[in-house]
């Protein structure tokens, strides 16, 4: 089975809302757990990340 590519873009600044990375919108915990997550959980998180990234772009100071 092909592994899913990490959403990380090597920015890694966790100053977004709720501690989200401003590069990929994951939390520190989600970044640490990525390699051990099941494909279903990765897909679910990637859908959430799209929404989070939109929030980061819409409200960068929150």
DSSP labels for 1-62?
-PPPPP---S-----SGGG--TTT---HHHHHHGGGS-HHHHHHHHHHHHHHHHHHHH-TT-
Does 35 score more than 70 pLDDT? yes
Q: What is the mean pLDDT of residues 4-21?
A: 90
pLDDT at 25: 95
Higher pLDDT, 51 or 17: 51
Work out the pLDDT band at 57, boundaries 50, 70, 90: confident
The predicted pLDDT at position 14 comes to 93
Q: What is residue 41's predicted lDDT score, i.e. its pLDDT?
A: 97
More confident residue, 40 or 3: 40
């Amino acid at each position: 089975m092909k592994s899913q590519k990490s959403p990380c873009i090597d920015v890694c600044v966790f100053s977004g809302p709720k501690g989200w990375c401003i590069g990929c919108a994951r939390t520190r915990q989600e970044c640490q757990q990525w390699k051990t997550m099941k494909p279903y959980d990765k897909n679910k998180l990637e859908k959430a990340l799209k929404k989070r990234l939109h929030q980061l772009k819409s409200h960068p100071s929150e």
